[in-house]
Structure 1
Amino acid sequence: MEPLSPDAGARVRLPTELILHIIECVLPANPRALIPPSHISTKTLLALTRVSRATYRQASRLLRERCLYLDSSRRLADLLLCMPRLVPTLQPALSLRHVTSLHLAPFGASLDDQPTAVWVRELFCEVCETLRRLVVQMPFRSLDPLDDHLNVRRTLRDGFEQLTKLEEFVCLGEYPSLSVPDGHTDVWRLWPGLRRLVLFGVPMNSHWLWWDIATLPELEHVVLARPQLVETTNIKDEYFHKLPREDRRLGRKIKVMLLDTAYEIPDLNTTRWKEIDPSGKMTVEVYEVPMPFYGDETPHESVTEWVKRGALDGILWEWSGNKVEVQ
């Protein structure tokens, strides 16, 4: 048999199905990873949207599902401008409104930025039907309610309240405090389908913290980073006495992880745990974040970065700490 000529070889084409499979392999193996704009996978997918009609739709879908990483107000504004746009000569791709996972950190040092707050509200109103996973980092403590003359907190709260389909919420660095005169309920309490939750700096002895955790029917995994007043709180006593004992919500399995740097979390109060939770419905674990030998990071910065990396890499919910047991 004679070998193929160079011209004949040039005419050989890969099947479209194989090309689409190759596009899928551009992404990291973990399907839960959120990929930043600087990552080679994001840049490759962007290039593939310009290669052909066959690659445009698939690459566009993956960019919407895995690469929504808005770390500045400029990126947020650009995304909103692109939402209504279509390329008339190409097949309709999945709308930018069909976002399922999102990393959002659009503010600078202060929350007192009305245009950015309005854009956040607009974004949440657009994606609320499909968004299931949100990693957010905002300077909530930087704006006192008494100084909020532009109603930034109200604007943000209106947006967060729309996310009723959310299943996973990771709030980095600060507690998402968005109380207003006629809305004191924590916004994450308003999402009935919430399954996984990360909060920073919560006072462990708060009645409302454990009431909200107990009454959210689907919640199964809670990470409390750099928690406060741990030594004065009996976690299981707080949780299991917020509802009547026969309430079905207390019958679910739930994992609570306390996360901080080594030696920062004191011994837990485990008084009467076997009596309060005889069947072990709640698992409590302590996870210690290693501090670097060199560097000037504070414990808070180290924990925030550790949780952020775990959330964006999609491995946060796989972590296991030291299980707290009653001797």
Structure 2
Amino acid sequence: MPISYQRGHHLSIYKSDLNPPANMSESLPLEILILIIRKLPPQPPHIPIALPATDVLTKTFIALSLTNTAFHAIAIDYLYKYCLFIDKPWRLTALLRSLGTLQNSKGGISRQGMSPAIITSLVLKPYHNGTIADRRIAQEINALFTILAPNLKRLVIDMELRSLYPEDDDEGIRPILRMAFEKLTAIEVFCSTRDELFLNLHWPLHPEPPVWSYWPKLTTLALYNVDMENFMPYVKVMDSIKTLVLTNADSIDDLHERWNGEFHGYTGYEICPTRPSTVAAMRELLKDEQHLEIIIVNNHDYQDFLDEALGTSRYLTTSFVDVPMPPNVHYPEALQEWTKNLIISGIPLEMVERVNVQDLRWIHWND
């Protein structure tokens, strides 16, 4: 169905999902229909980070945007707010192109009265072949984050950052990606599906602070296969972090020793020498007794140890989630999908021990 440029540039993200709707304005007054439409978006207590193109609400918003001018503006607004599920390279390109139409030199507001500031949540899976070795996509991610960084609060990424190690990065792709992610200083909720957000540029020769340690508003951090020994020191100096979701974490048996040394017997060791405020931040954290919750996914072999080691800490609570795996699925990928979909779902993490696989929408074991 041909679409005029004024409408179509926003909908190009969903070019394969467009279907002309029936006339929806024949039965009820327009004002009543608008009131109904405004009740459609997800409601608290949990609002998904993004709805995929296959979701019934996304399809509804697309259909409404093609119905008439009154519905179009509302529906496009909802697509940007609730449906930025970028799971293909062409969707990333189309989104970047559409955002270009939202900006101008007078403050980033388009003729339609919209602004990139309405985008606060994003799911990003821009690679399709299992590797990040694509400089064009890296540049598009950098351009996208440049636009969204001031307002983007929730982000889930599904990117194989360990598919290209620093020593093999002949095209300088990793520096582009690290620069892009460092811009996201408004992030509050973040999930890296496939790894620990591995954006090191000199690994393993020189230690580098993880990019997320530069995000001052970060409250929830979900990572896969982190090295607990090197991970926890950076967590301790984060002013706002409240919840960790750690799936298949490594070196978890070192946590007790680290915890005692860092929280209960600080010796003055500069854990993060590249951050001059480490000592002050550590002491401030101890003084305020900031509470931290760690949700440990499928490290059940360590549950008894961690209960004994950490259960009495007034600064820390731990939850253990043993995810049942369906038969005939590849364990790591299935577990990664479970955690990703947990965060995407927006389910309050205090409910995580009551969540099962069937509760999580859009899970695809064989993706």
How many angstroms does 1:288 deviate by? Answer: 1.0
Residues 106-121 of structure 1 aligned to structure 2 (within 5 Å): 106-107=126-127, 108-121=129-142
Greater share of helix: 2
How many angstroms does 1:257 deviate by? Answer: 1.2
Show CA shifts across 1:236-290 (max 9, x none): 32551566898232311211111117x4545325667577x3xx22111211111
The aligned counterpart of 2:335 is: 303
How many angstroms does 1:314 deviate by? Answer: 1.2
Structure 2 counterpart of 1:118, one-letter code: Q
Q: 1:291 aligns with which of 301, 325, 330?
A: 325
The aligned counterpart of 2:260 is: 237
How many angstroms does 1:225 deviate by? Answer: 0.7
- TM-score norm. by structure 2 comes to 0.74
Change (3 A) 1:43 1:321: closer
The aligned counterpart of 2:90 is: 74
The aligned counterpart of 1:202 is: 226
SS of alignment partner, residue 298 of structure 2: strand
Change (3 A) 1:316 1:309: farther
Gaps of 5+ in 2: 1-24, 103-109, 267-278, 355-367
The aligned counterpart of 1:85 is: 101
Change (3 A) 1:246 1:103: closer
Distance in 2 (CA, whole Å) between partners of 1:189 and 1:160 is 11
- TM-score norm. by structure 1 comes to 0.83
The aligned counterpart of 2:17 is: none
SS of alignment partner, residue 252 of structure 2: coil
Q: 1:133 aligns with which of 144, 151, 154?
A: 154
Distance in 2 (CA, whole Å) between partners of 1:157 and 1:274 is 36
SS of alignment partner, residue 61 of structure 2: helix
Structure 2 counterpart of 1:139, one-letter code: E
The aligned counterpart of 2:315 is: 281
Change (3 A) 1:273 1:72: closer
Q: How many residues align?
A: 301
Residues 7-86 of structure 1 aligned to structure 2 (within 5 Å): 13-14=28-29, 16=31, 18-29=32-43, 31-33=46-48, 34-85=50-101
Distance in 1 (CA, whole Å) between partners of 2:130 and 2:302 is 28
Show CA shifts across 1:93-126 (max 9, x none): 4234531000001113111110000000000001
Show CA shifts across 1:198-241 (max 9, x none): 011012222xx122111110101111111112234316325515
Report the more deviating stretch, 22-31 or 47-56.
22-31
Report the more deviating stretch, 189-198 or 221-230.
221-230
**1:255 is aligned to 2:293:** yes
**1:268 is aligned to 2:268:** no
Q: 1:313 aligns with which of 345, 352, 358?
A: 345
How many angstroms does 1:316 deviate by? Answer: 5.6
How many angstroms does 1:15 deviate by? Answer: 5.5
Distance in 2 (CA, whole Å) between partners of 1:112 and 1:139 is 10
Structure 2 counterpart of 1:65, one-letter code: K
Residues 104-253 of structure 1 aligned to structure 2 (within 5 Å): 104-107=124-127, 108-181=129-202, 184-206=208-230, 209-234=231-256, 236-237=259-260, 239-241=262-264, 247-250=283-286, 251-253=289-291
Residues 98, 127 of structure 1: 8 Å contact kept: no
Change (3 A) 1:56 1:228: same
Residues 200, 226 of structure 1: 8 Å contact kept: yes
Report the more deviating stretch, 29-38 or 71-80.
29-38
SS of alignment partner, residue 118 of structure 1: helix
SS of alignment partner, residue 75 of structure 1: helix
Residues 178, 186 of structure 1: 8 Å contact kept: yes
What is the identity percentage for the equivalent residue pairs of Structure 1 and Structure 2? 26
